[in-house]
Structure 1
Amino acid sequence: MTAEEGSSMSEQLEFVPHHHGEPRRAARWVSPVGLWSALGIAVLLFQAVVLGRWIAAGGLHAVPDGDYQISTGRAALTWVGQALMFAIILTCVAVVTYRSKKAGEITFDATIVIGFGLSFWLAPLSNARDLIAIGNRYALNVTTWGPYLPGWDGPAPQLQVETVVAASILMYIPVITWVWAQLWLMTRVSRHRPQWGMLRLTPIFLLTGALLDAIFEIVLVVGLGMYNYPSANQELALFGGHWYQIPLGHVIAGILLSTPTAMVWHYANRHGGEIPLFRGVTAFPARARNWLRILSAIGFTNLVMFGWMLISMNTTLLGTDPMPADMPGWLWPR
């Protein structure tokens, strides 16, 4: 063997271990980021089919006004409320965009904003069997796509609305403000009680999640009249017996909206390293990593939202009552 041949063989032997040290392409998808991304892709495909059928059937239009009465004051309050919500949405988007540019890569909260923003297609599930939550018919709205969801059998679909910013569609984006609030509180609690683990912090997470939901609901339902819960068990509701009643079951279910995300984020901050959802992302090419993070967040947030919708849909197990006598026509025909 010549010296030149020996040198060539040596280079080949040195290359082989490096090649086998790289994760195999198939194995990369078994990581958390791979599995969550796969769920995210499935979610996007499924919602594309649902919304595509709805649009093809001519559903992308507002529900006719009907003959309901709405006072000038209530109409003005509805527009003020929508403007306020739209401003909050724009602020959330601006904040996560700035943070991502500063970090040089997409941040966790930016992916969560995208994820919740793309979970709106699940909104009609709450009314899949009964009228659980209905939106303000005077607000900007479109017809419901509920009939195009498998198994959906809600009452009077022609009268149900999906509001643009009042209670549906874009209104899931501001859930990130709850996450920020919980993370801010938990960070300070951990500084003062560094010996507390996640088990001891969990009750605080749950309590703050319910409290944030209650505040949010009181503002949107009682204050602005953006939506309401017509069939709630009036004995188990705040302001029971009035059109602005808020079921306690929904307040408790609201824990699911922000708490899982806040807990995942807090865990990652406390222990260092990658967000648990994104583990394994470094095994993929750099150009694909931000997209994988987004897809993972879409899968995660849609699963969270689906769980919340299932609980909302089954609050009737706590009992139902007739619509309150003071139910206004701008919420539902009387």
Structure 2
Amino acid sequence: MTEPSVPAVSGPKTPAHHRPSLREIRRSAIGYWAAFGLACLVFQAVVFARWIIGGDFHAHSSGGYTIPQTMKIATHIGQATVALLLLVLAAGLWRECRSQNRITLNTAVFIGFCFSFWSNPYVSQFHYAAGNNRYDLNVDTWGPYLPGWRGDTPAVESFLMEAGYPAMLMWIVIALAVARGLVRRRPHWSPRRTLAATTLVMLVCEPVMTSGYQRLGGFAYPRALPGNLTFFEGHWYQLPLTSTLAVVGFFIMPVLAMALYAGDDREVHLFRGCERFPRRLRPWVRLTAGVGFMNACTLGFQLTMALASLISHPVDLPSWWDRPAD
């Protein structure tokens, strides 16, 4: 779906030096999303500062596991591919913003993803539920510095695991492309029907794309759901159905719904009320709103996967996927 154009503001234009009142901010969607985004940025700055000062900002010991040569090669390919993908996405989004002279929805989502990976340890709140590739670039987890975290240590956080969040923008770009195709072929369809059809397509495509990322050393799920609800159950590249449902439900559908229901003549929900802010602040407010929105989506994803771990059972993992023993 093409990004909706900024609607014209009725009445007198907002002066460039105008400062929004607290009441104006409260009445705007972008105001509360930006406020939440700013709180998330401050919170993670404190968490990472404590993590660094605590002396845990270092790679975990590389011993204690074995890994096949094929997986070493796959991991290196995965690292290079993801790094290149993120650079290409950043360059493309920069050009998109320059051409439209504003921070676009895709850009806000991408930046939001970049500042939402901090909550990843919460997936393993109750059980070891997200396996990091120990051969991948990694650091000791910052989980113990998160409020309420009760996971097991030692544990690591790897590059491919955390980079998977901003790379998720590609999943959203594909969903938007599918929606564009449906709108062209079925212009009489309502946004709700287009959203439902695109969601069904992504429920089929998402396991294929995520499985490909896993096999490049991205991550592993150490637990399987009961009732044959896990793809490739028992293998290190298994994929529980809750992962697909959570990715589509918390990452793809919210952004897709905003784009579809905004149409071509209205601003998306996330940016509603942006015109109330001084012009020089609008790019920062839009970016901060993106951080808030994607942090809310990511926390919903983490909570779903953490709760799913309570009804799942562990499977045997190769040593390079398993949690470090010491």
Normalised TM-score (structure 2):
0.88
Q: Distance in 1 between matches of 2:143 and 2:211?
A: 26
> Is contact 1:250-1:315 (8 Å) kept?
no
> Which of 250, 264, 267 is the equivalent residue of 2:261?
267
Instruction: For residue 224 of structure 2, give the secondary structure of its aligned residue in structure 1.
Output: coil
Deviation at 1:19, TM superposition (A): 12
Deviation at 1:144, TM superposition (A): 0.9
Indicate the residue corresponding to 1:296 in structure 2.
289
> Is contact 1:28-1:284 (8 Å) kept?
no
Instruction: For residue 142 of structure 1, give the secondary structure of its aligned residue in structure 2.
Output: strand
Amino acid at match of 1:171: G
Aligned residue pairs, count:
309
- Higher percent of residues as helix: 1
Indicate the residue corresponding to 1:79 in structure 2.
76
Structure 1 residues 200 and 20 mapped into 2: Cα distance closer, same or farther (>3 Å)? closer
Indicate the residue corresponding to 1:257 in structure 2.
251
Amino acid at match of 1:25: S
Q: Distance in 2 between matches of 1:167 and 1:101?
A: 30
The answer to whether residue 306 in structure 2 is matched with residue 313 in structure 1 is: yes
Cα RMSD of the aligned pairs, angstroms, is 2.2
Q: Distance in 1 between matches of 2:46 and 2:12?
A: 43
Indicate the residue corresponding to 1:14 in structure 2.
none
Instruction: For residue 134 of structure 1, give the secondary structure of its aligned residue in structure 2.
Output: coil
Unpaired segments ≥5 residues, structure 2: 1-10
Structure 1 segments of 4+ aligned residues over 6 angstroms from their partners: 17-23
Alignment of 1:168-317 (within 5 A): 168=162, 170-221=163-214, 223-233=215-225, 235-255=228-248, 256-268=250-262, 270-317=263-310
Structure possessing the higher radius of gyration over alpha carbons: 1
> Which of 161, 169, 174 is the equivalent residue of 1:167?
161
Q: Which one scores higher on RCO, CA 8 angstroms, separation ≥ 6? A: 2
Amino acid at match of 1:103: Q
Structure 1 residues 136 and 278 mapped into 2: Cα distance closer, same or farther (>3 Å)? same
Q: Distance in 1 between matches of 2:71 and 2:210?
A: 18
Q: Distance in 1 between matches of 2:286 and 2:20?
A: 20
Normalised TM-score (structure 1):
0.86
Which digits, 9 at most, give the CA deviation of each residue in 1:221-240, with x for residues without a partner?
Answer: 2x223211112226321111
Alignment of 1:133-152 (within 5 A): 133-152=130-149
- Identity in percent: 33
Q: Distance in 2 between matches of 1:305 and 1:213?
A: 17
> Is contact 1:62-1:140 (8 Å) kept?
yes
Q: Distance in 1 between matches of 2:13 and 2:258?
A: 34
> Is contact 2:122-2:143 (8 Å) kept?
yes
Structure 1 residues 226 and 28 mapped into 2: Cα distance closer, same or farther (>3 Å)? same
> Which of 35, 41, 46 is the equivalent residue of 2:38?
41
